[in-house]
Amino acid sequence: MTPPPPPSNPAISDAGLLDQIAAGDRDSLRALYDEHAGWLLIRLQRRCDDVDIAELALQDTFLAVWKSAADWRGEGEVAAWLWGIASRRLIDQLRKKRPTPTEEPAPDETMPSAEDTALDRRLSGPIARAVATLDPDVRTVFLAANLDGLTTKEIAVLHQMPQGTVKTRMARARAQLKAELGPDPHRREDVA
């Protein structure tokens, strides 16, 4: 397979590419894809070890860019805007993958998902299993804060949501994790 031709103007900015994509320029979409697809796929795979799901989320991301390039307001970095789209598309794909409850499988039939396996490698066993039980919207915010080290404001910008929503989802994550894991025996509570 021959590589795609280089963009006609390599000096054009990402914002300029988005303007051209909004005008229907497919070559600009290819240039934006070539510039950002690699790192986006790596970050998506950090969230989900299922390569097929990560690749579907990446494809959905650039389809969304094609359809909504005109919606970019020109605020912040294009890369952050792309990551916000990609992470939401990954959540959509994970929701589609979620099995519909039928019968509870026998214990020997249960296999960990690719995401659980990835979490086990990045976090430790019980914590990873507890994080895997979080709702995808809550888990994405939790992982952005705890794996990527993003601030509330950065997560809000990245996912295009109010900071209050980020804080609410983090509080939900903490509450659910505390309920799942129980109290921390090493944590000292201050007594008033």
What's the pLDDT score for residue 62? Answer: 95
Q: For the chain, list the domains and their CATH numbers.
A: 14-97+114-181 (1.20.140)
What's the pLDDT score for residue 58? Answer: 95
The rounded distance, in Å, linking the Cα atoms of 16 and 97 is 36
- Mean pLDDT in residue range 111-119: 51
What's the pLDDT score for residue 147? Answer: 75
In 25-108, the DSSP E strands lie at none
**Ramachandran region, residue 119 (left: φ > 0; alpha: ψ -120 to 50; beta: rest):** alpha
The rounded distance, in Å, linking the Cα atoms of 123 and 139 is 13
The rounded distance, in Å, linking the Cα atoms of 1 and 180 is 49
What's the pLDDT score for residue 18? Answer: 92
Residue 170's Cα: distance from chain center in Å?
15
Of the candidates 107, 105, 146, 112, the one whose C-alpha atom is nearest the C-alpha of residue 129 is 112
What's the pLDDT score for residue 155? Answer: 84
Burial string for 33-54 (b: 16+ CB within 10 Å, else e) reads: bebbbeebbebbbebbbbeebb
CA atoms within 13 A on the CB side of 68: 13
Assign 128 a pLDDT band (cuts: 50, 70, 90).
confident
Which residues lie below 8 Å from residue 130, measured CB to CB, with a gap of 6+? 176, 177, 180, 181
Write down the pTM of the prediction: 0.53
Q: What is the pLDDT of residues 179-188, one digit of tens each?
A: 888 766 555 4
DSSP string spanning 7-48? PS-TT--HHHHHHHHHTT-HHHHHHHHHHHHHHHHHHHHHH-
Is the pLDDT reported for residue 148 higher than 50?
yes
The rounded distance, in Å, linking the Cα atoms of 120 and 131 is 10
The rounded distance, in Å, linking the Cα atoms of 38 and 59 is 12
Q: Where are the alpha helices (DSSP H) in 123-162?
A: 125-132, 136-146, 152-159
Q: What is the pLDDT of residues 56-112, one digit of tens each?
A: 999 999 999 999 898 888 778 898 889 989 988 988 888 887 655 555 555 444 555
